[in-house]
Amino acid sequence: MSEIVKQIKEELVRNSDEKTRKQGEYFFKENVKIHGLKSAQVEQISRAYFSKLPDKSKSTVFSHCEILFKSGFLEEAGIACMWSYNVRKQYTPGDFKLFEDWVSRYVTNWAICDTFCNHNVGTFIMMYPSYLKNLKKWALSSVRWMKRASAVSLIVPARKGMFLDEIFKIADILHSDPDDMVQKGYGWMLKTASQAHQEEVFSYVMKRKKTMPRTALRYAIEKMPAELKSKAMAKE
């Protein structure tokens, strides 16, 4: 273990709080390893120790992130997400394989899935759109977090009005998935896309509302005007 990662772990333990740990566990159905720090504290520690890193090359940063992810602790994984995002200007096409490996090995809850995929994978996809086809492969996975990742990786691009056709293709793949984490993930993706493409997303939802899980449907229309929401939710 590198000295700086050792110092980060010690800092997290020093600042941990049992009450915060128990409150954090409340938000997860699965078992999670939590030290017990608030998000603002983790962000502060992340910034402080990143500034101390003498070598901020992508390879060095990624090697530290690997160690942080391996710990299994939510806060350390969060720092890994932040550090690997800090070097986003250094991303190259070959990084997708590593990101895919991290998602398959270390993403075990919605918090890390959303943090890593929204920012890191989403940024990568905007830089290298040819990798959108790989997200469709993730959507076909048997692993819930890989499936959710395929959708939430497009949240930031959707906010910018990008990749609507691909968003619909991934939503089609995930359409009938029984997992609520997957339903919420692709519903969130559609909701975000609706902010730039309300008419298209509404039309998409209306054509599929009879078979779309209600959880996904509610998420997808959340930002739409009340009149459109009523039409989408009406049972025929």
> Are 132 and 222 part of one and the same domain?
yes
Same domain, 198 and 127: yes
Q: Is residue 100 part of a domain?
A: no
On whether residue 214 sits in a domain, the answer given is yes
Last-in-domain residue among 57, 90, 123: 90
Domain boundary among the residues 90, 113, 144 is at: 90
Over residues 187-231, the pLDDT tens digits come to 999 999 999 999 999 999 999 999 999 999 999 999 999 999 999
pLDDT tens by residue, 74-123: 999 999 999 999 999 999 999 999 999 999 999 999 999 999 999 999 99
Domain ranges, residue 126: 105-236
Domain boundary among 58, 90, 122: 90
pLDDT, residue 203, reads: 98
**Residue 154 confidence (pLDDT) above 90:** yes
The answer to the question of residue 96 being in a domain is no
Distance CA 186, CA 114 (A): 12
